[in-house]
């Protein structure tokens, strides 16, 4: 064991890039673990305190604002990191241009959110205030441009420290709000405060790590970023519609109470979605190398990836199906008992989420990212159509069924429609059936 430890230390000492990557991944994992643990605890406590009706109103506001998040992010993240790595001498020009674009995008998203909620719910002042407060956070998310700098330098620990510091502080604040029987609107202000405090933390770490030059955004740099980012903006908008439209439609058709019960189930269902991302990001380099060596070896690795992802998804979905009601009532209480059935259905969306993420390396290596956009838009259309039919009849259960079918269509069935993606449909089908 001592020899093994010495060997690892020696290996890392002479490979600083690998050391930085491992450190970066470790910090990102710590971020996920902390948010899953503390976040779930506080989330459940808030749900029990507010009750399904008010908890539903809170989640409706969050989901509604999320629909417009693509306009705030502008799909710039990957482009900015790429350009800083490629042209480090232009780093401040790129960063400042991205900041200005994100600030403008956040302001536009804030105004669109307000206009939309006044049109959709003209007489609901509570929903208008909730959406307005939470949407203001998109303006302060422009400071996430600093996070892109840390990403480009493989120093995500500073982002984790800044945002998790804000997360922990506001988790304590939310507990205090519960203990002091605060009104619903206070939790919206807490959500806004977390974003503002996270932005302040990013600024502080940036100033400590970097001499602060005068940021000079350039029109040509901003225009170049925006010209490249519009497909990502459309894709981000489609993804948000795809993932959050069920809560919006459920609120409009069945009321806030049903949204509260549905959202309780979603927390336990969607908490697993980071797993395929971690797995795929870990094997992506080996897949790229395998493609360069041999097409046969490359496709074999893709099939193995699908098989393993589906096995993990089955290992999550099967037990969750049988313990869903017990899990919900144990954490949330009897008021949310209806979420048990919703969770037993919605958890199977994980199988198709895992398959969809597993297909991303193939799409990237083959230069077929446009199919990802087509699949997402198609999934959003299927989700909306099924929700219109199923929600009035079955409420939250109908929304869960619609979600599973929409995810299955986008990540799996649509691959059978295009000649270029039919090979992936066959691989995914083998994985689902677990046949060689």
pLDDT of 19 over the 60 cut: no
342, part of any domain: yes
Token duo for residue 216: 């000079």
User: What does the pLDDT look like over 52-105, one tens digit per residue?
Assistant: 999 999 999 998 998 888 777 777 666 676 676 667 767 777 777 888 888 888
Full domain range(s) for residue 63: 1-217
* Rg of the chain taking only CA atoms, in angstroms: 22
Please report the pLDDT score of residue 217 as a whole number.
67
Instruction: Taking residues 419-432, report their average pLDDT.
Output: 90
- List, for residues 276-318, the tens digit of each pLDDT value: 877 776 677 677 777 778 888 888 888 988 998 999 999 999 9
In 352-429, DSSP assigns E strands to: none
The answer to whether residues 319 and 412 belong to one domain is: yes
Within a domain: 10 = yes
Domain co-membership, 259 together with 212: no
**Residue 395: helix, strand or coil by DSSP?**
coil
| Three-state secondary structure string covering 176-235 | HHHHCCCCHHHHHHHHHHHHHHHHHHHHHHHHHHCCCCCCCCCHHHHHHHHHHHHHHHHH
Kindly state the average pLDDT of the residues 334-341: 91
Q: What share of the chain is helix, strand, coil (3-state, %, to 5)?
A: 90, 0, 10
278 and 180 assigned to the same domain: no
| Whether pLDDT at 370 is above 80 | no
Within 10 angstroms of residue 59's Cβ, the number of other Cβ atoms is: 24
**Domain co-membership, 205 together with 286:** no
Instruction: Check residue 189 and give its pLDDT.
Output: 93
Q: What is the model's pLDDT at position 13?
A: 53
Q: What is the pLDDT of residue 205?
A: 77
Residue whose C-alpha is closest to residue 91's, from 205, 201, 216, 228: 216
Same domain, 197 and 260: no
> Same structural domain for residues 213 and 262?
no
What is the average per-residue pLDDT within 379-389?
91
Question: Do 202 and 296 reside in the same domain of the chain?
Answer: no
User: Which pLDDT band holds residue 401 (cuts at 50, 70, 90)?
Assistant: very high
Which pLDDT score is estimated for 102? 84
In a domain, 407, yes or no: yes
In this predicted structure, what is the pLDDT of residue 8?
42
Nearest-angstrom CA–CA distance, 404 and 349: 5
Domain end (from 217, 245, 274): 217
Total structural domains in the chain?
Answer: 2
- Domain final position from 217, 240, 266: 217
232 falls within a domain: no
Residues 320 and 430 in one domain: yes
Residue 183: the pLDDT is 92
Mean pLDDT of the chain: 82
Inside any domain, residue 234: no
Has residue 143 been placed in a domain?
yes
pLDDT tops 60 at residue 131: yes
pLDDT > 70: percent of the chain? 82
- 396 lies in some domain: yes
Residue with tokens 């017990």: 326
Res 151: pLDDT: 65
* pLDDT over threshold 50, residue 7: no
User: Same domain, yes or no, for 102 and 197?
Assistant: yes
Residues 212 and 309 in one domain: no
- Over 80: is that where the pLDDT of 113 sits? yes
In a shared domain, residues 179 and 260: no
241 in a structural domain? no
pLDDT per position as a tens digit, 202-248? 888 777 766 555 567 677 777 777 777 776 677 777 777 877 888 89
For residues 76 and 80, what is the distance between their CA atoms, to the nearest angstrom?
6
pLDDT tens-digit map of 137-190? 888 887 877 777 676 665 666 777 778 788 888 889 999 999 999 999 999 999
Query: Do both 272 and 388 map to the same domain?
Result: yes
Residue 71 has phi, psi (to 5 degrees) of: -70, -25
């Amino acid at each position: 064991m001592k020899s093994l430890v010495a060997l690892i230390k020696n290996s890392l000492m002479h490979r600083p890039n690998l050391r930085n990557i491992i450190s970066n991944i470790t910090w990102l994992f710590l971020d996920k673990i902390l948010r899953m643990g503390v976040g779930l605890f506080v989330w459940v406590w808030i749900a029990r305190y507010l009750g399904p009706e008010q908890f539903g109103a809170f989640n409706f506001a969050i989901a509604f604002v999320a629909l417009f998040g693509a306009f705030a992010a502008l799909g710039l993240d990957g482009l900015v990191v790429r350009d800083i790595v490629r042209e480090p001498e232009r780093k401040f020009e790129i960063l400042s241009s991205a900041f200005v674009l994100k600030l403008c995008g956040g302001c536009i998203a804030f105004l669109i959110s307000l206009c939309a909620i006044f049109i959709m719910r003209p007489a609901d002042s509570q929903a208008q205030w909730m959406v307005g407060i939470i949407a203001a956070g998109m303006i302060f998310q422009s400071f996430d441009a600093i996070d892109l700098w840390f990403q480009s330098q493989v120093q995500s620990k500073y982002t984790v420290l800044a945002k998790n510091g804000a997360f922990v502080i506001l988790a304590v604040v939310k507990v205090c709000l519960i203990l002091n029987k605060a009104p619903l609107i206070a939790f919206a202000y807490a959500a806004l405060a977390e974003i503002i405090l996270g932005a302040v933390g990013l600024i502080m770490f940036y100033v400590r790590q970097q001499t602060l030059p005068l940021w000079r955004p350039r029109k040509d740099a901003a225009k170049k970023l925006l010209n490249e980012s519009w497909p990502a903006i459309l894709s981000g908008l489609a993804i948000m519609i795809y993932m959050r439209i069920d809560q919006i439609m459920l609120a409009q058709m069945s009321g806030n109470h049903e949204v509260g019960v549905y959202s309780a189930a979603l927390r336990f269902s969607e908490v697993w979605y980071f797993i395929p991302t971690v797995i795929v990001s870990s094997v992506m380099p080996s897949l790229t190398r395998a493609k360069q060596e041999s097409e046969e070896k490359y496709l074999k690795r893709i099939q193995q990836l699908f098989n393993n992802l589906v096995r993990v998804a089955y290992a999550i979905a099967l037990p969750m199906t049988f313990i869903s009601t017990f899990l919900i009532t144990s954490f949330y209480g009897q008021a949310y008992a209806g979420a048990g059935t919703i969770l037993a259905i919605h958890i199977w969306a994980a199988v198709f989420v895992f398959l969809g993420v597993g297909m991303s390396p193939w799409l990237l290596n083959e230069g077929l990212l446009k199919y990802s956009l087509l699949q997402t838009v198609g999934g959003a259309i299927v989700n909306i159509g099924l929700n219109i039919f199923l929600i009035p009849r079955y409420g939250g259960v109908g929304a869960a069924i619609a979600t599973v079918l929409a995810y299955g269509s986008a990540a799996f069935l649509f691959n059978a429609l295009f000649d270029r993606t039919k090979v992936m449909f066959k691989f995914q089908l083998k994985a689902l059936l677990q046949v060689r």
